[in-house]
Amino acid sequence: MKPCAIVRASGYTGRELLSCLQRHPRLRATVVMTARAGAQPEPPVFPGDPTIDALDLARLQAVDGVFLCTPHGAASEIARRALAAGKKVVDLSADFRLRDPALYQRTYGSPHPAPELLARAVYGLTEHARTTVQDAELVANPGCYPTSILLPLLPLLQQGLLDPAAPIVADSKSGVSGAGKAPSDRVHFGAVHENFLAYGVGNHRHTPEIHQQAGTSRIVFTPHLLPAFRGMLSTIYVTPAAGLAASGNAAAALRSCLAEAYAHEPFVRVYAQGQPELRCVQQTNQCHIAVTQSGPLVVLTSAIDNLQKGAAGQALQNMNLMLGLPEGDGLS
């Protein structure tokens, strides 16, 4: 059994990681901490859960891998210490997702806390970075919205199947757990129940991450808050390249491209017919994708569990690879 640490295990993603690791055959969370030194230990929430101890960076010496589930800005110093001790690090915050420290400052409103580490970080969209993740010491785990958008888009962009001048519209909806565990007026039950809204329109923090990884700024991204706890569904409107549009078989061609790209991927399913639903992916590390013609456009629909494939599940995929373990361990 390989030992690992979870920092800030009391949040939604930290708890999701604990759940995955409890069924992992080769990896155990032997160090489970908050993100605050001197904090009072937090007792187990459920029988069989560990006590969550105060942050003690010296305890990272005793593990092989470190999961950072902290807010942005708080992960960098812990990552610096863990890397200096020779540990593998998967950061679930936003600290290492953006390659440009100036872009990070514009996006998050403060200077990057560890710009010297940015060149060492691998963006861990696992299906598109498997080889580099295997050799990485520091992985930036993708955001949940970017995961749901990039998985259906990247193969199509890479194969030149989309009109290079047309905007791409990504209309995404997330369960309320995507906002994190901290209470607020926006995520209070009374504000969410029987309600639905767009937020962060035109300025959401995941937009620069999506643009960076897609290699284009023509993606228009709008997130929405669903009256559900977990799950994420993105509806993406694309214009096929001129030759495909004229053929009348654009949707079939795009579907074929995605089916070929993900034919051997255990966590991505491309539908031959029908549409993904949240209930099909909740509590799983799956991404389900459908492709449908709609007039001159093609509609891509993708569904993930924002706490699994959008966070903890993908982080465990990456850590498995980094530690030389079977990629799907703890995720079946």
Distance CA 170, CA 299 (A): 10
Same domain, yes or no: 167 and 282: yes
Same domain, yes or no: 9 and 111: yes
DSSP of 211-266, one letter per residue?
HHHHT-S-EEEEEEE-SSSS-EEEEEEE-B-HHHHHHT-HHHHHHHHHHHHTTT-T
Tell me what percent of the chain is helix, strand and coil, each rounded to the nearest 5. 35, 20, 40
CATH classification of the domain holding 118: 3.40.50.720
Give per-residue pLDDT as tens, 46-97.
Answer: 788 899 999 999 999 999 999 999 988 899 999 999 999 999 999 999 999 9
Distance CA 47, CA 281 (A): 26
pLDDT at 37: 83
Domain limits at 251?
Answer: 144-306
pTM: 0.96
Nearest to 151 by CA among 16, 282, 286: 286
Percent of the chain exceeding pLDDT 90 equals 86
Same domain, yes or no: 192 and 114: no
3 state SS of 177: helix
Same domain, yes or no: 137 and 164: no
pLDDT of 139 over the 80 cut: yes
Same domain, yes or no: 77 and 161: no
Give per-residue pLDDT as tens, 239-291.
Answer: 999 989 878 789 999 999 999 999 999 999 999 999 999 999 999 999 999 99
pLDDT (mean) for 152-180:
95
Could you tell me the CA-to-CA distances from 206 to 99, 142, 227 in Å, in that order? 13, 9, 21
Same domain, yes or no: 255 and 314: no
Residue type, 108: Y
Residue 121 lies in a domain: yes
Residue 328 lies in a domain: no
Q: Which one of 69, 144, 257, 280 is the catalytic residue?
A: 144
Positions of E strands within the chain: 2-7, 27-33, 65-68, 88-91, 121-123, 138-140, 168-174, 197-198, 219-225, 232-238, 268-270, 287-294, 297-304
Angle CA 182–175–16, to nearest 5: 65
Same domain, yes or no: 246 and 173: yes
pLDDT at 240: 97
DSSP run (H or E) holding 12: helix 12-22
Same domain, yes or no: 71 and 186: no
Could you tell me the CA-to-CA distances from 26 to 14, 19, 20, 52, 95 in Å, in that order? 19, 14, 12, 21, 28
Residue 144 designated active-site: yes
Residue 300 lies in a domain: yes
Distance CA 263, CA 177 (A): 30
Quick check: 102 and 119 in contact, CB under 8 A? no
pLDDT higher at 41 or 138: 138
pLDDT at 314: 98
How many distinct structural domains can be found in the chain? 2
Mean pLDDT computed over every residue of the chain: 95
Distance CA 207, CA 219 (A): 8
Same domain, yes or no: 288 and 154: yes
pLDDT at 191: 81
